[in-house]
Amino acid sequence: MKVVGITTQQEVYVGSKDRNFRINEFLIISDPYQGDLMGEIVEAKTYNKYIPLSIHGELADSSVIESLKALGYNIEEDTIYIGKIRLLNEALYPVETGCDVRIPTFDEVKDIMINSPADEGLILGVIKNTDQMAKDMDEEYKNLLYTFEEGELKKQRDIPYIFNIRSMHQYPHIGVFGGSGSGKSFGLRVVLEELMKLNIPTIVLDPHFEMDFSQRGDYMPKEEEIDYRDKFKCLQVGFHVGVRFEDLSPQDLKNLLDASSPLTDAMNNVVDILFKRNDSYNSFYNRLKMLAEAQEEGSLDRIQLRIDSADSNLEREGWLKRKELFLTYDKTCPYNSVRGIIWRLNRLYNEGIFSKDIREIEDGLNMGKLIVIQGNTRILQVFSTYLLNNLYHRRRDYKDALYKKTTAEYFPPFIVVTDEAHNFAPKGYDSPSKSILKEISQEGRKYGTFLILATQRPTLLDETITAQLNTKFIFRTVRASDIQTIQEETDITVEEARRLPYLRTGDVFISEALMGRTIFARIRAAHTTSPHTENPFDELKNISKAEDEKFMQIIKNKLPINGDDFINVIKEIERDTGITYTVNIFEEKLEDLVTKGLIKKEKTPFFNIYKEI
Amino acid sequence: MYTIANELKDKIVYLNKVLSEKYSQVLSLDEMFLREFIEENVGPIRKVNKLTEEELAYYYQKGGILGVDGSRNRVGGAYPHFVEIYQGLAKSTIYKDKPIYKADFYSPLYDEKGEFPIEDSIEEEESIRNRKLSTIEIEAALEGIRQLKPYAVIMDGSLIRYDIESFTRWMELRRECEEKDIILVGVIKDIKTSIIGELLKEDKELNIEECFHDRELLYGMLEYGEMISIHGEVTKKAKEGFSSLFMRSSKAPTVIGMDILDSQKKYLEEMARLVLTLTPEDGRGVPLWIDIVDSEVKISDKMIRGLLESYLDRQILEMLFISERDKRTL
């Protein structure tokens, strides 16, 4: 391998007669004057002067090449390999043409490849095309993981990519971008597995119900299996966790209602006026309800009439109360706004949000667990707003108290992870969860609260937040507008951006502020699998197979069945199993079994006979 | 600046007119008639097939094919202030890593063996240069034969050229090939003969006054893979001990020629098949192996300049070999 052609301080071409170059491969140029210069292959080409790309005929056709081979001359051996190397650090002078190029040893690249001990960082995958340097790698970094290549589990051959979690203190927040099927959710799963290994308190907002870690990947060798079951907890909003109404501040409540459906100024005002500290759901709801009922009467006179004509004491008292509310609040709380609040509150209540509290989450975090919060996107938006506000401020209060030398209850630092982040912090319009995410993105670093945001549409994610993501994992992306955004937000090069639509599933560009360059990596095989991995078409097939088998079982000892005897057979089946078929359906099912070749049909002049094969 | 002088345009129109008049006779000749004429007077037209894999494997066992070619580069201005560099290459299909290179140079400023042309005769001087090139190719071939022991040698160009230009060395090569039973053929990319043309002219019935070249007459006449093996008596080469043929070796309408030693005449068709096998169907009709050897022996003018600049004293270079033309920048 030698440096060829015209060189510059930044880029050189290397040529080789026998060794092909791989993209993102690291090589060392031994410049006689400047010493060793490290560079990375950014473009690789091969060329054979005897087999040129010629559009006007004169293409050495395969028969001639084969004939020459038969005569002992293999034209393909004349192929030369050319790679374009970009130096990691600009050289002082242009690189000397003709100097040798070699493969670096592990020690030479260690600093630029690995910046964390294996047991302290997140072992996310391998750095691609580094197998040659991995040979003399320290034992600590060997055999850490498996990768999936072409559907097969492979042992680690390359240098591992270890994300230095400690560096988040300096360079906070991670973005995970990639289209559907690019390996994004899968990459997120690996990140979460690693967080669990390190017992880092984490909150995961999971709108897809997929972040369950109890199902182990059956492809992993037995001795490598890791049990994550006691490291995480799946909690469903409204079922396991919810909001304790009594803990809500007026602002919390407004956020919640707003997340349910946006509030008008007047409605905000209604909440401010009507909501009292320590209100329970019932007391607040009743207050609203009674006020609305009073307002529906229309005037004081009519309310008075109600009081006067009340049948019971209870009813009279009720109307007296309404009268009081009407007198106090009617001027400040317009009827429509009151109704709006009631409607929103009802909606939240029906979703069960107010039936539980977040104690379980807090306990989990305190134990260093990964807490997965599940629910549909909208309910998660509502709940996360409350939850994150709550947790973040707990953490913040604790840290501030330390600083102010007062006391506050301990609350651990934690990481917030969400898929489909553009739903939680959309660009262009306000959403309640956005403001808290924005706050964390901007100042969470100081309080030890970090974000890992995954999205298929980085373009739709709030820009202030995107700008704060110091590390970005970029999977295959096809949309031009998203590639554009990625290019603007990362240090990814034009060549790399051009490769984005063609990345294999699980291959990822990692743009890390700590490294100051983009790393091309492959995510490791996850130890656990998502509950949604069964192919829906397999599912259909299996279901219909199971149905057939079941039906076969039922009719098996009734065979042969005569076409004029359906009624009796159906009766028998009904008696034996309690399952009822109509004659038409029964015949259809039998015909179906015939077409599938499970039973056979014989035709007679009068009716068909269905028989065992 | 971008307009073309009218006179120039007129001249070209005129050239087209005279040429089309001259060739109207050839172009109007009936193809069938011409083919019959050739069959009768020149030699039989036959279609040949490519070699089979077994035959190629046999060649491989017997030592493969040696391709020989030469190149010349000239640096400098008019006589006698120039130097010509020659390079010959013999390359075997089997011994890929053992190319045999030979090099020589010629400059009128240096008299090797007192063979300076007595007068400044251009022909004389030209023949020295041709001799040098031929000799270097023969030497490469000789060494190739001795070292690599091929089954056959394909030279780039007519064998008769070597016979004329470098007789003694040629005889040596010829003898050695005959002794060692190595087939020696020349492949002529650009045929310059007029064997058929002369016969046509001689035929009084046809009333053709001009003597046309074979290249013109055979253009597009043969089918792909067809060859004409030329009767000994109609070619002048027979006297020098050669047998020849014409063949259309690719889909291109042009025809190539091949020479072989008379003593090896029985191999002529076999060699035609070899050349056909090694020629890309959509190519110019030149065997790929010859093209490969050719591209390896060729040295770019830039490289030669570089060599001279590095190894000649600057003063000598400037004084003798840099012409006024070389310094022109416009």
- Residue A180: is its pLDDT beyond 90? no
Judge: B288–A63 Cβ closer than 8 Å, yes or no: no
The answer to whether A415 and A202 have CB atoms below 8 angstroms apart is yes
Judge: A71–B56 Cβ closer than 8 Å, yes or no: yes
Judge: A63–B281 Cβ closer than 8 Å, yes or no: yes
- Mean pLDDT is lowest, of A90-94, A532-536, B156-160, for A532-536
Q: Give how far B298 is from chain A: nearest CA, Å.
A: 14
Q: Which of B61, B62, B93, B290 to substitute to test the interface with A, most A CBs within 10 Å? A: B93
Tell me, what's the pLDDT at B118? 53
Contacts of A65 in chain B (CB under 8 A): 288
For residue A245, give the 3-state DSSP assignment.
helix
Among candidates B145, B144, B206, B216, which has minimal Cα distance to B178? B145
Greater confidence, A213 or B80? A213
pLDDT band at B234 (very low <50, low <70, confident <90, very high): confident
A536 touches chain B (CB under 8 A): no
Question: What's the CA gap between A355 and A351, in Å, rounded?
Answer: 9
Nearest chain A residue to B294 by CA distance is A50
Greater confidence, A110 or B119? A110
- Residue B1: is its pLDDT beyond 60? no
Of A50, A60, A72, which is closest to B93 when you measure between CB atoms? A72
Of B59, B283, B291, which is closest to A57 when you measure between CB atoms? B283
Average of per-residue pLDDT values in chain B: 85
Which pair of tokens denotes residue A192? 């979460």
For residue A402, give the 3-state DSSP assignment.
helix
pLDDT band at A571 (very low <50, low <70, confident <90, very high): confident
- Residue B203: is its pLDDT beyond 90? no
Tell me, what's the pLDDT at A587? 85
The answer to whether A453 and A421 have CB atoms below 8 angstroms apart is yes
Judge: B280–A72 Cβ closer than 8 Å, yes or no: no
pLDDT band at B101 (very low <50, low <70, confident <90, very high): very high
Among candidates B98, B78, B87, which has minimal Cα distance to B146? B98
- Residue B113: is its pLDDT beyond 90? no
Tell me, what's the pLDDT at A451? 95
3 state SS for chain B: CCCCCHHHHHHHHHHHHHHHHHHHHHHHCCHHHHHHHHHHHCCCEEECCCCCHHHHHHHHHCCCEEEEEEEEEEEECCCCCEEEEEEEEEEECCCCCCCEEEEEEECCCCCCCCCCCCCCCHHHHHHHHHHHHHHHHHHHHHHHHHHHCCCEEEEECCHHHHHHHCHHHHHHHHHHHHHHCCEEEEEECCCCCCHHHHHHHHCCCCCCCCCCCHHHHHCCCCCCCEEEECCHHHCCHHHHCEEEEEECCCCCCCCEEEEEEHHHHHHHHHHHHHHHHHCCCCCCCCCHHHHHHHHHHCCCHHHHHHHHHHHCCHHHHHHHHCCCHHHCCC
* Interface TM-score (ipTM) > 0.90: no
Contacting A residues, span 70-89, partner chain B, CB-CB under 8 Å: 70-75, 77
10 Å CB burial of residue B202 (0-12, 13-18, 19+) is: exposed
Of all residues in chain A, the percent with pLDDT exceeding 70 is 99
Judge: B292–A59 Cβ closer than 8 Å, yes or no: no
Contacts of A77 in chain B (CB under 8 A): 96
- Residue B90: is its pLDDT beyond 90? yes
Please give the average per-residue pLDDT across A528-552, as a whole number.
83
The CA-atom distances, in angstroms, between B205 and each of A30, B44, B208 are 79, 22, 8
The answer to whether A291 and A338 have CB atoms below 8 angstroms apart is yes
Average of per-residue pLDDT values in chain A: 87
Q: Which of A65, A67, A69, A74 to substitute to test the interface with B, most B CBs within 10 Å? A: A67
Classify the C-alpha dihedral A73-A75-A77-A78 as positive or negative. Answer: positive
Greater confidence, A150 or A432? A150
Which pair of tokens denotes residue A259? 């997340």
Judge: B53–A70 Cβ closer than 8 Å, yes or no: yes
Nearest chain A residue to B97 by CA distance is A73
Please give the average per-residue pLDDT across A102-115, as a whole number.
87
Side-chain half-sphere exposure of A1, counting CA atoms within 13 A: 21
Among candidates B140, B156, B139, which has minimal Cα distance to B100? B140
Nearest chain B residue to A77 by CA distance is B96
Judge: A64–B288 Cβ closer than 8 Å, yes or no: yes
Please give the average per-residue pLDDT across A386-406, as a whole number.
90
- Residue A589: is its pLDDT beyond 70? yes
Q: How far is CA B260 from the centre of its chain?
A: 13
Tell me, what's the pLDDT at A48? 83
Q: Which residues contact A318 (CB under 8 A, 6 or more apart)?
A: A290
The answer to whether A590 and A548 have CB atoms below 8 angstroms apart is no
Strands A561-562 and A507-512 turn out to be: unpaired
For residue A608, give the 3-state DSSP assignment.
strand
The answer to whether A111 and A89 have CB atoms below 8 angstroms apart is no
Of A57, A64, A73, which is closest to B93 when you measure between CB atoms? A73
- Residue A410: is its pLDDT beyond 70? yes
Please give the average per-residue pLDDT across B168-197, as a whole number.
90
Judge: B282–A57 Cβ closer than 8 Å, yes or no: yes
Question: What's the CA gap between A514 and A390, in Å, rounded?
Answer: 31
- Residue A476: is its pLDDT beyond 90? yes
Please give the average per-residue pLDDT across B258-264, as a whole number.
90
B93-96: long-range pairs with CB below 8 Å, 24+: B93/A68, B93/A71, B93/A72, B93/A73, B93/B60, B93/B64, B93/B65, B93/B66, B93/B67, B93/B289, B94/A71, B94/A72, B94/A73, B94/B60, B94/B63, B94/B64, B94/B148, B94/B150, B95/B64, B95/B148, B96/A72, B96/A73, B96/A74, B96/A77
10 Å CB burial of residue B62 (0-12, 13-18, 19+) is: middle
Judge: A71–B53 Cβ closer than 8 Å, yes or no: no
Task: List pLDDT tens digits, range B307-322.
Answer: 888 888 888 888 888 8
- Residue B323: is its pLDDT beyond 90? no
Q: What is the DSSP string of A265-301?
A: HHHHHHHHHH--TT--HHHHHHHHHHHHHHHHH-SHH
Q: Give how far A95 is from chain B: nearest CA, Å.
A: 22
Tell me, what's the pLDDT at B116? 53
Please give the average per-residue pLDDT across A137-158, as a whole number.
88
Judge: A71–B93 Cβ closer than 8 Å, yes or no: yes
pLDDT band at B142 (very low <50, low <70, confident <90, very high): very high
Classify the C-alpha dihedral B115-B116-B119-B125 as positive or negative. Answer: positive
A67 touches chain B (CB under 8 A): yes
Q: Give how far B38 is from chain A: nearest CA, Å.
A: 30
Judge: B60–A70 Cβ closer than 8 Å, yes or no: yes
Question: What's the CA gap between A353 and A260, in Å, rounded?
Answer: 11
Tell me, what's the pLDDT at A74? 81
Question: What's the CA gap between A197 and A211, in Å, rounded?
Answer: 15
Q: What is the DSSP string of A549-606?
A: HHHHHHHGGG-SEETT-HHHHHHHHHHHH-----HHHHHHHHHHHHHTTSEEEEE-SS
Q: Which residues contact A313 (CB under 8 A, 6 or more apart)?
A: none
Burial A241-264 (b: 16+ CB within 10 A, else e): bbbbbeebebebbbbbbbbbeebe
Tell me, what's the pLDDT at B2? 60
Query: What are the strands of the beta sheet with A517-523, ordered from one edge?
Result: A160-163, A122-127, A517-523, A507-512, A471-474, A174-177, A449-455, A414-418, A202-206, A370-374, A232-236
Contacting A residues, span 10-49, partner chain B, CB-CB under 8 Å: 49
Please give the average per-residue pLDDT across B238-263, as a whole number.
87
Tell me, what's the pLDDT at B284? 83
Please give the average per-residue pLDDT across A54-81, as a whole number.
76
Please give the average per-residue pLDDT across B83-101, as a whole number.
89
Task: Work out the angle at residue A293's Cα, subtended by the Cα atoms of residues A290 and A298, and round it to the nearest 5 degrees.
Answer: 130
- Mean pLDDT is lowest, of A269-273, A490-494, B153-157, for A490-494
Nearest chain A residue to B96 by CA distance is A73
Tell me, what's the pLDDT at B186? 93
Query: What are the strands of the beta sheet with A599-603, ordered from one edge?
Result: A561-562, A608-612, A599-603
Among candidates A254, A256, A238, A257, which has minimal Cα distance to A355? A238
| Chain B positions with Cβ closer than 8 Å to A | 50-51, 53, 56-57, 59-60, 64-65, 92-94, 96, 277-284, 288-289, 291-292, 295
Greater confidence, A481 or A277? A481
Contacts of B295 in chain A (CB under 8 A): 49-50
Which pair of tokens denotes residue A536? 């829906």
Of all residues in chain B, the percent with pLDDT exceeding 70 is 93
- Which residue type occupies A219? Y
- Residue B8: is its pLDDT beyond 60? yes
Contacts of B63 in chain A (CB under 8 A): none
For residue A489, give the 3-state DSSP assignment.
helix
Classify the C-alpha dihedral A261-A262-A267-A273 as positive or negative. Answer: positive
Side-chain half-sphere exposure of A355, counting CA atoms within 13 A: 12
Among candidates A604, A556, A560, A562, which has minimal Cα distance to A583? A562
Burial B110-122 (b: 16+ CB within 10 A, else e): eeeeeeebeeeee
Q: Give how far B154 is from chain A: nearest CA, Å.
A: 13
Of B59, B280, B291, which is closest to A61 when you measure between CB atoms? B280
pLDDT band at A57 (very low <50, low <70, confident <90, very high): low
Please give the average per-residue pLDDT across A466-483, as a whole number.
92
Tell me, what's the pLDDT at A160? 92
Judge: A70–B288 Cβ closer than 8 Å, yes or no: no
Tell me, what's the pLDDT at A107? 87
Among candidates A451, A452, A497, A441, which has minimal Cα distance to A474? A497
